[in-house]
Amino acid sequence: MQKKFYLYTFITFLFLCFSLSLVAQQSKKGTTGFSQKLPLDQQRKFDYYFYEAMNAKALGKYDALYDYLTYCTQIDSTNANVLYELGSYYNSTDNKNKAIDLYRKAIGYDADNYYYNIAYAMLCLEFKQYSDAIGQLEKLIKENPDNADLYVYLSESYRVDGNIPKAISTLDKLETIVGLNEKISLQKYQLYTYTKQEKKAFAEIQKYIDKYPNEIRYQILLGDLYLQAGKKPEAFMVYSKAKSIDPEDPYLISSIAEYYEQTGNKAAAENELQTVLISPKMDVDTKLAILAQYIGTLQQNKSSTDAANALFDTLMIQHPQEPKLNLMYGNLLMMQAKKDEARFQYRLFAEANPTNPTGWEQMLATAFPDSVDLTISICEEALTYIADQPQFYFYLGISKYMKDEHRKALDVLQEGVQYVDENNKSLLSDFYGQIGDLYYHIGQMDSAFAVYDKSLSFNPNNLGILNNYSYFLSLQKKNLDKAEKMSSITVKAEPSNPTYLDTYGWILFQQGAYVISKIYIENAIKYSEANKEELSAEVLEHYGDVLYKTEEPEKALEYWTKAKEKGDSDSKTLDKKIEEKTYIEVVADEAK
C-alpha cells in the first residue's frame, strides 16, 4: 500500500505602481549617448550593431540583444546608452548588482539623462540605498520641477528611510502642482496616522467634505477611517450626517452595518445589510462584495457565520438566475462544514457554467477523499464538458487507484498527463509519481522506476515520490545507496513524519545498519503515538525485525504479534516469523 475593509490595507503607495518605460532614449547631446570619438569605420560598425541590438530587444530576442550590446561595448566602452541598455538587460534577468553598476557608469558618461538617473534611483531604492536614491531624485526634481512622478518616488524614498516629515512635505509640494488629489491625501493620511498626528490625518479627508459638502462618498470615507481608528462615536456622527444627503445609499448602509457589527449590535447590523441587499441601486457584484466583507468581519470577530445564510437567501430571491450567488453561498456552506448543502449550490453553478472548471472543482472538494465513488462520478461528468482539464483525470485516477482498479487508474492518468501544461512542473511530477506507483503495483518494476525518475526530473524535491521510490527500491534490494539518499531528503524536510522515518529506517535495515535503523523506526512509532495516528502492521513488523537483529528476540516476537493483530498486513512472512520465533528475510516483493 502507498505511504501516505479594513479600507487601507491596499494602499502601499498607489502612485508607486506607475509604470516607467525604461527604454533607451536619444541623448540631448548625441544619437546614442555620450561616447568617445570613434574613427568613421568603427562608428559605422558601432551604429550597425546598436541598431541590431534595439531590433532584437523589440522582437524579444534577449540572447541576441545581450550579444549585440556586449559587442558594442568592445567597440566603445564609454557609450552611455549601451551601458544603460545592458544594465536594463541585467535588471530584467534579476542580476541587480550588475545592473546598478552599469546604470551608475551610464550616468558617469551622461549625467543629465533623465532615464539613466531614474533607473539608477529605483535600483538604489531596491538595494535600500535610500540616501543615494533621495539624492538622485532631488537632482531630477530640480531639473524637472513639474514631473509629478518624481515627487511620488521622492516621498516614498523619504518614507522608507524613516523621514516622515520630509515625505509629507514632498507630497505637499506635489499637491501644489496637481491640485487637490484623493490619492495624495490618502497617502498623507497614512503618514500622519503613522506619526500619530490624528488631527492632521482626519483633516486631510475633511477638506474634501468642506469643498464638496454634497458628495456622500467623502462622508462615508471619513466615517470608515474613524471606525478603522477605533473612534466609533465620531464614525457614527459622520454616518448620521451622511444620511441627510442620501439615507438609501447602499455603501453608507454597508458602513453603518459594519459600525453595528463592531459595537456588538448584530441584529442592527443584519437589518442594515438586508436593506443593502434589496436595494435596486446596487448591482449584484457589489452586493456580493459587501456580503463577502461581512463574512470576513464575522470570521475576524470569531462569530458564527450562520447569520449570513439568511442574507444569501434574500439575495437569491432577488436574483434567482445568478450562478455567482450559488458559488459564493457554496463557499460559505463549506466554511460551515455543510458539505452536502455546499455541493448542491456548486452543482447549480456547474450546470449553469458547465465549461467552467470552478464549479466541478468545488464539487470535488466536497467529495474527496470522503467518498471515492462520488469523486469518480463528479470527475467523469466534468470531463464530458471539459475534456482537457488534467485535474479531473488526476483525481479520477487516484480514486480508481484507491479502489484497487490499477489498470483503469493507469489508463486515466496516462491520458490526463497529456493535458498538463509543460510549465506546471509540480503537477507533472505528481502525475508521473502516481503512474510510477501504479506500474509498481501491477508488477512492472523497471517501468515504475523509470517513471519515478521522470517525475523527479520535474520536481526533485517531491517528498511523496522520493519516499515511495526509495521504499520500493529497498523492497527490491536495488540501488540501496540511491534509496538512502532519496529517503534522507524526506527525513531532513520532515523530521517528525512517521512514514518517512519508517522508510529511512527500513532502508538502513536493508543496508545492515541495524542500530541506526532501530533509532529511526522507534522515532516513527513515537511520533505516530504523539500524533495519535494508528500504527500500521507494516511499521510494527519492521520494528520487530530490527529488534530481532539487535538481539531482542522476545520483544521482536511481541511486535510481530501486534502486527498480526492489526489484521491488515500484506506480509508473506509474518506468520512464519511468529511461528518459528525468528526473523525470516523477505523474498517476494512487498509494496507499501
| Residue pLDDT, tens place only, 530-541 | 888 888 889 999
CA atoms of 298 and 319, how far apart (whole Å): 24
* Burial (CB count within 10 angstroms: exposed 0-12, middle 13-18, buried 19+), residue 85: buried
Which are the contacts of 306, defined by CB distance < 8 A and separation ≥ 6? 336
pLDDT digits (tens, 9 = 90+) for 345-358: 999 999 999 999 99
pLDDT digits (tens, 9 = 90+) for 164-173: 999 999 998 9
Q: Which of 196, 192, 194 is nearest to 207 (CA)?
A: 192
DSSP string, 413-433: HHHHGGGS-TT-HHHHHHHHH
pLDDT of amino acid 18: 30
pLDDT band of 15, cuts 50, 70, 90 = very low
Domain contains 233: no
Domain contains 407: no
> Secondary structure of the chain: what % helix, strand, coil (to 5)?
75, 0, 25
Residue with cell 509543460: 422
pLDDT of amino acid 351: 95
Which are the contacts of 84, defined by CB distance < 8 A and separation ≥ 6? 24, 33, 102, 103, 106, 113, 115, 116, 119
Torsion of CA 478, 480, 486, 489, to 10 degrees: 160
28: which DSSP letter? T
pLDDT of amino acid 407: 95
- Would you say residue 226 has pLDDT above 80? yes
| Alpha carbon 441 to its chain's center | 35
Domain contains 149: no
CA atoms of 194 and 165, how far apart (whole Å): 11
CA atoms of 284 and 277, how far apart (whole Å): 8
pLDDT digits (tens, 9 = 90+) for 541-560: 999 999 999 999 999 999 99
Domain contains 192: no
pLDDT band of 32, cuts 50, 70, 90 = very low
Residue with cell 514632498: 170
CA atoms of 309 and 332, how far apart (whole Å): 8
Identify which has the larger pLDDT, 342 or 277: 342
pLDDT (mean) for 190-194: 84
- Would you say residue 418 has pLDDT above 70? yes
Q: Which domain holds residue 513?
A: 486-580
**What is the count of structural domains for the chain?**
1
CA atoms of 487 and 501, how far apart (whole Å): 9
Which are the contacts of 516, defined by CB distance < 8 A and separation ≥ 6? 505, 508
Q: Which of 202, 201, 250 is nearest to 223 (CA)?
A: 202
Q: Is the peptide bond before 250 cis (omega within 30 degrees of 0)?
A: no
Contact by Cβ (8 Å): 99, 87 = yes
All three cell numbers of 16, joined, read 508607486
b/e map 577-589, b = 16+ CB within 10 Å: beeeeebbeeeee
**What's the Cα-to-Cα distance from 402 to each of 364, 377, 500, rounded to whole Å?**
16, 14, 21
CATH number for the domain spanning 523: value is 1.25.40.10
DSSP string, 121-152: HHHHHHTT-HHHHHHHHHHHHHH-TT-HHHHH
What angle (nearest 5°) sits at the alpha carbon of residue 28, between those of residues 22 and 32?
A: 65
Q: Which of 505, 520, 449 is nearest to 479 (CA)?
A: 449
pLDDT band of 34, cuts 50, 70, 90 = low
CA atoms of 245 and 295, how far apart (whole Å): 28
pLDDT of amino acid 325: 87
pLDDT band of 204, cuts 50, 70, 90 = confident
CA atoms of 199 and 101, how far apart (whole Å): 45
CA diameter of the chain = 97
pLDDT band of 35, cuts 50, 70, 90 = low
Provide the angle, in degrees to the nearest 10, between the axes of the packed helices 148-160 and 114-126.
20
pLDDT of amino acid 20: 29
The chain-wide mean pLDDT, for the chain, equals: 86
pLDDT of amino acid 16: 31
Domain contains 514: yes
First-to-last alpha carbon distance for the chain, in angstroms, is: 4
> SS3 for 435?
helix
Domain contains 529: yes
Domain contains 308: no
Q: Give pTM, 2 decimals.
A: 0.61
CA atoms of 509 and 518, how far apart (whole Å): 8
Domain contains 261: no
pLDDT of amino acid 36: 63
b/e map 282-311, b = 16+ CB within 10 Å: beeeebbebbeebbebbeeeeeeeebbbeb
